[in-house]
Copies of this chain bind each other. A is one copy, B any other.
Amino acid sequence: MTEHTLRPVGRVESTLTDRTAAPRQPDEGAPDAWLVFDDRYAPALDGLTPGTDVLLLTWLDRADRDTLAVHPRGDAARPLTGVFATRAPDRPNPIGLHTVHILAVEGRRVHVRNLEALDATPILDVKPLLTPDR
């Protein structure tokens, strides 16, 4: 099948640098972080509002793309499960999906609460949570 090319629009700035120490979910101790967008994408940020929640899509560039089944949460006692039935980062197209709360927007830098992505993780997209008028 035809391949497609992702062009990251920015990067995560975070104190998280070690995958083995990273929380699996944001409510498991993830720090606040900055989303730093490339200058050229500044117009795409217009309308992002502090105090709101948004969906952040990232590229989990340290994931293993050949993994098709895992023990959920790395627990060998749990049966092997297809990666499409888990949130494991190792998967054919390792796109990270994070709901984040916007604390501040400063030009092309966006401060968000509790993000479990590692420092330097490429940002692919931001989307509002779905509301009927968007």
Contacts and interface: CB of A to CB of B under 8 A. Distances in A.
Interface of A: 1-9, 11, 25, 38, 41, 43-49, 54-55, 57, 59, 61, 65, 68-69, 72-73, 80-87, 91-93, 95, 97, 122, 124-128, 130, 132-134
Nearest to A11: B1
Given A44-B82, A46-B82, A68-B44, A127 B97 contact: yes
A1 B5 contact: no
A93 B44 contact: no
Contacts of A82: 43-48
Nearest to A67: B44
Integer count of this chain's copies in the complex = 2
Given A1-B7, A7-B1, A125-B84, A68 B47 contact: no
A5 B2 contact: no
